Structure 1
Amino acid sequence: MHLIPFSPLNLSVLRGLLLTFMTVVLSACSLLDTSSSAPPPQPDLSELAHQAAEKIVAGNPDITHYSPMIASTFVDIDNLSQSSTFGRISSEIMASALARYGMQVREIKMRDSMFIEESVGELILSRQVQRLSAQHDARSILMGTYAQGQDYIYVSARVVSTGNAMVLGTADFRLPLDNNTRSLLDDGGW
């Protein structure tokens, strides 16, 4: 058996080859790693509304004592007498999510005693709160506003006691303003 003597030159060449080999292997591994290349999908309105409902309940675990609750259509912050498909569906999703966390939600659209204007939805303004809460035997109301920005739509939701108008829980979130969100906002000027 014949051994090759190691000289500083041979050792340097061997280190260079090993370094080159390691660089090639690591580069190939990074190309195969797809877990970091694609960003996670943005949460949609339903996910964000459910997270907001969870925040509201976590912030006040006794909020279910203020059941039953009725939900009002979320309104445009710049015009509180105007809403959209976005405002209506946001309210519906939040009410559903709060029901999952134990709030008793009264469905007011099924009651004959409340007239819902087709062009307004079930908007609840401060002067109507006492009348509607008494009419539907509600101890709380889900209310919300939204504002359209350049890249996002901002939503603020809160559950308010009908007895003293105190805020029982609140949560805010923002949703990317994409074509889907724009179509929910641009539905004929509700």
Structure 2
Amino acid sequence: MKAPALTACLIASVAAAGCATDAARQPAPEITYAQAANSELVATNYRAADALLAQFGGTSAGGPLIVATVVNIDALEQSSTLGRMISEQLSARLSQRGWQMVELKLRGSIYMRRGEGELILTREISDIARTNKAQAIVLGSYAVGASFVYVNLKIVQPGSNAVLSAYDYVLPANQEVRTMLGRNTGR
């Protein structure tokens, strides 16, 4: 290869590398409202609430339901933005389906840990349910895997702790979910 041709190739290579670096520095395009509306997280949590109700067998006339914060299975006293959001979406869906829901965030007497949400301790479930005349409590946990977040939900009868309904589902451990878990690992 002659010197001018070699020089041209080197300049082209450096320019191409510079373009690639510039492209890598570009921020990701912002999500649009249309793209946000197509997010599957809310729909997935709504399907989970519907599946719980389909198995439950209770009636909305039997008394309100209480939704506890969905917690980390490896540390039951801890939750995350994801766990709290799942709980909020479950409560919203149950309310949409005609169930009276007890909003625990408005009650000062409920055990609450700052930043964790409405974590209900086992010994408090019967008292809270009795005070609110609740027929059942929705409980849940999640486990974080390498590629997925596994969610388990149950409707439990206060007093006896009998499981009246249960549903398992899986969320992708994508960037959005990892961020809500506080595990923005950049996978």
Fold in common (TM above 0.5): yes
Alpha-carbon separation, structure 2, partners of 1:135 and 1:98: 20
Alignment of structure 1 residues 114-125 onto 2, 5 Å: 114-125=110-121
Residue 72 of structure 1 corresponds to which residue in structure 2? Answer: 68
**Contact 2:63 / 2:133 at 8 angstroms: preserved in 1?**
no
Q: Report whether the alignment pairs 1:108 with 2:93.
A: no
Q: CA deviation at 1:154?
A: 0.8
Cα offsets for 1:16-37 (capped at 9, x unmatched): xxxxxxxxxxxxxxxxxxxxxx
Q: Report whether the alignment pairs 1:163 with 2:159.
A: yes
Which of the numbers 157, 163, 172 marks the counterpart of 1:176? Answer: 172
**Contact 2:150 / 2:168 at 8 angstroms: preserved in 1?**
yes
**Contact 1:66 / 1:161 at 8 angstroms: preserved in 2?**
no
**Structure 2 residues without counterparts, runs of 5 or longer:** 1-37
Cα offsets for 1:100-135 (capped at 9, x unmatched): 222211112112333522143211121221222223
Q: CA deviation at 1:57?
A: 1.6
Deviates more, 1:43-52 or 1:67-76: 43-52
Which of the numbers 109, 113, 134 marks the counterpart of 2:130? Answer: 134
Residue 45 of structure 1 corresponds to which residue in structure 2? Answer: 41
TM-score, normalised with respect to structure 2: 0.71
Which of the numbers 79, 93, 99 marks the counterpart of 2:95? Answer: 99
- Amino acid in the other structure paired with 2:143: A
Q: CA deviation at 1:44?
A: 2.0
C-alpha spacing 1:169/1:65, structure 2 compared with 1 (3 Å): farther
Q: Report whether the alignment pairs 1:143 with 2:139.
A: yes
Q: CA deviation at 1:72?
A: 0.7
**Structure 1 residues without counterparts, runs of 5 or longer:** 1-41
**Contact 1:75 / 1:82 at 8 angstroms: preserved in 2?**
yes
C-alpha spacing 1:147/1:104, structure 2 compared with 1 (3 Å): same
**Contact 1:44 / 1:175 at 8 angstroms: preserved in 2?**
no
The percentage of counterpart residues that share the same residue type is 34
Match of 1:128, SS? helix
Alpha-carbon separation, structure 1, partners of 2:156 and 2:141: 13
**Contact 1:66 / 1:140 at 8 angstroms: preserved in 2?**
no
The alignment yields a C-alpha RMSD, in angstroms, of 2.2
Alpha-carbon separation, structure 1, partners of 2:111 and 2:73: 23
- Which structure is richer in relative contact order (CA contacts within 8 A, separation 6 or more)? 1
Alpha-carbon separation, structure 1, partners of 2:81 and 2:131: 26
Alpha-carbon separation, structure 2, partners of 1:92 and 1:47: 13
Alpha-carbon separation, structure 2, partners of 1:48 and 1:115: 28
Aligned length: 147
Cα offsets for 1:55-95 (capped at 9, x unmatched): 11222343535431111110001111111111101111011
